[in-house]
Structure 1
């Protein structure tokens, strides 16, 4: 992003120790330096010191949050450092410093600091014991009010990861023309280690209408391309949620869709999401997360079945669509695992694990878990559910996604059956609390 060169005509000039809000790649074009680095990041590595002599054949990557210092060892040394952002005056507020001569660090400078040339400001830097660890770079969550957005912000809060949450009122992602220039250019995104886009148009049937079609493409495809371009300019990781609806569901029911299976969406919603996937891949640092049957805070299928069970209603539920439930909280945990672990960029499938099921089976699970007769649930076809018409959007019969990608990345999703049980219990607890009595045991 920005390459800097510092020329030193004599032996002994020493500078540091600065931890800055960007990554660095340091080397020398001519001469030699002694490099010293102090880990200032939160975690067990805080305070770790590494030193190394650098010549023109050596370069060192210094990640954000690691303090950097150097001492010139030869005359006519040209110290170079490539950074991942342009220098900005406002960014200096995020700098952190450690004293070059702090005895706790134990750095053996080739030229003793009493004989070296140091800037006055560097002599005044605090000792390691007097500085707080640096928190990781924040995560940006546009679309923070939806099921996935709420789960993401809850997860970030409980794990202590700094984040910024945007609602539609703060930034309408579906309308790139309304974005501030610093968003479109990517300048405002550089300070984030990841943008996790939780905003989307998910009204599958409404997307089949003229108005819904335009809205789906704007939110799920056109704006995604604009955001991917901004993240690419910023060098920021972009996480994009996609769906089982990018597939036609024609695979045999004993098979699951792999990440490299060709897409063939049946509906306008699925088409817009498939287009969004293509747009995201223009950003070099991207994760496409395909998921299905998400259950989170607010209205969802499990909560609806629990409410109907409590009201004595015998509902109908579609029995020929096959997939797995996904807890929004589990989806959030898996995505942040990918970001935190530095997993390879690309496409991942992240749904609940375990045996596939149908919506009818899920409904019966809920009735059973809450002590109601599961036989009250009537299994029906999609056409029967829609009153004998085919007015709704076509849905894939097989929505089962192969989970090898996320398992290989070191994350094991929750069992789909357990997701239904836990959500039903949570609904029952909320209802009992609202009624002023204890949840049933």
Structure 2
């Protein structure tokens, strides 16, 4: 009886052994060596191979490796048999861990990026095949790592002694494990790294020791895709977090602003989505409550699948960007509202007014919850690090729904000033004499149930504000 398709874990994290059904008769045999739909359903990563290579080995005892490469590999045998050995050369607790498996045509192995790969043929005329999810590039040479086949630490028990085997001179002279620099994980690309959210993402990535590339607007301007479409080895990235956007909501209502908003939030995001999907890497895209019209009755919250109905140019351009991102097979859309982070924000503006003796007029008919960038960045990295289900998530701080006027009063009290100095006003009255006024959603309350169900609980915004000021309120 042929094997049933099955995927098995090993002692090396991410290294998987696949049983492949092999059907034969008097004419020979047939197998589905790579069948994406069935194998992904069985537990194999959807790693997006782009190249298929074959290594033909004329004699038994041919030995190759140990090579760790900057891409994932799917290894199998077309004819003959091999003894395969894999050594984890990635930084972490499993560095140096070894797994060996004998492979015939009915077995395959998935090798994640950074795990050293080697094999020894056990029969003459063995055809060893492998799929990879990146094209070979001279630029990637610095991301390789090598280990000597005879390393005493990992002590691989080769069926045919290495002094009797066929080896290349290069493979004979690879370093011992003690000399190998562990491979760091593939980096995340943070787009918009100089914004409030981008700076917080970089801060948390650094604290976690997670490799990243910070791209400011000077390095990756969403509105100018031609300047960056070929600037990165996209397949060498772990994923992209897009924290950049055109956010001048009122300026977007002008002819120039409208063009700029669509260039960054729609056309630029479409280009970013295209490269992410072609590279087979996840794209995290930060969106906004402005994709809704805010007409939901007060007391109700917007669910992730609520219909898009933006009121102004900014919301329309962000909604268009969302639609482009939805076409990416591996994507997260993270909608948020009322973002507060390092630098100029509503809290800092109210604090400054309070300290300067200015009594502000603040709208009291727009409802929502603030989002501190610490929580927003934490939620984004939670989704990425835990391989959460792809799709759309809402993230704001939790707690009571408030108005902008309520929040202003809280800031005044937190800084030792009277909340009575804040004068509530309707949105219509506030903007009555303002040109290029962008319509705002009255109800910006986002349902948090999905992000909470994923295992991330945003802080209550009152608690977050206490920590922001580092004092009791």
Common fold, TM-score beyond 0.5?
Answer: yes
Counterparts of residues 245-264 of structure 1 (less than 5 Å): 245-264=290-309
Match of 2:227 in 1: 179
| SS at 1:190 equivalent | helix
Match of 2:79 in 1: 30
How far apart, CA to CA, are the structure 2 residues paired with 1:35 and 1:254?
61
Consecutive unaligned residues of structure 1, counting only runs of 5 or more, are 427-439
Match of 2:97 in 1: 48
- Give CA deviations for 1:169-217 in whole Å, capped at 9, x if unaligned: 23322022x425624xxx6322211121222110111111221111111
How far apart, CA to CA, are the structure 1 residues paired with 2:453 and 2:315?
26
Match of 1:122 in 2: 171
How far apart, CA to CA, are the structure 2 residues paired with 1:325 and 1:27?
52
Match of 1:210 in 2: 255
Greater mean deviation of Cα atoms: 211-220 or 252-261: 252-261
How far apart, CA to CA, are the structure 2 residues paired with 1:142 and 1:171?
7
Greater mean deviation of Cα atoms: 136-145 or 17-26: 136-145
Match of 2:141 in 1: 92
Counterparts of residues 134-149 of structure 1 (less than 5 Å): 134-149=183-198
Contact 2:143 2:183 in 1 (8 A): no
Contact 1:302 1:424 in 2 (8 A): no
Contact 1:39 1:67 in 2 (8 A): yes
Consecutive unaligned residues of structure 2, counting only runs of 5 or more, are 1-49
How far apart, CA to CA, are the structure 1 residues paired with 2:307 and 2:100?
49
Contact 1:325 1:420 in 2 (8 A): no
Match of 2:37 in 1: none
Counterparts of residues 315-394 of structure 1 (less than 5 Å): 315-387=360-432, 392-394=437-439
Match of 2:238 in 1: 193
1:77 maps to 2:126:
yes
Distance change >3 Å, CA 132–CA 412, structure 1 → 2: farther
- Give CA deviations for 1:69-88 in whole Å, capped at 9, x if unaligned: 11112222111111111111
1:311 maps to 2:359:
no
Match of 2:116 in 1: 67
- Give CA deviations for 1:325-367 in whole Å, capped at 9, x if unaligned: 1111222222122222222222111211222222112111112
Match of 2:215 in 1: 166
Contact 2:253 2:436 in 1 (8 A): no
Shift of 1:387: 4.2
How far apart, CA to CA, are the structure 2 residues paired with 1:407 and 1:25?
35
Contact 1:238 1:286 in 2 (8 A): yes
Match of 2:160 in 1: 111
Contact 1:370 1:425 in 2 (8 A): no
| SS at 2:230 equivalent | helix
1:4 maps to 2:49:
no
Per the normalisation by structure 2, the TM-score is 0.85
Contact 2:70 2:113 in 1 (8 A): yes
Per the normalisation by structure 1, the TM-score is 0.91
Shift of 1:322: 1.4
Query: Alignment length, in residue pairs?
Result: 424
Distance change >3 Å, CA 56–CA 408, structure 1 → 2: farther
How far apart, CA to CA, are the structure 2 residues paired with 1:181 and 1:407?
35
How far apart, CA to CA, are the structure 1 residues paired with 2:78 and 2:398?
53
Match of 2:322 in 1: 277
| SS at 2:343 equivalent | coil
Distance change >3 Å, CA 180–CA 321, structure 1 → 2: closer
- Give CA deviations for 1:210-259 in whole Å, capped at 9, x if unaligned: 21111111110011111111222222222211101111112222221111
Match of 2:40 in 1: none
Greater mean deviation of Cα atoms: 367-376 or 217-226: 367-376
Match of 1:435 in 2: none
Shift of 1:158: 2.2
Contact 1:383 1:390 in 2 (8 A): no
Match of 2:34 in 1: none
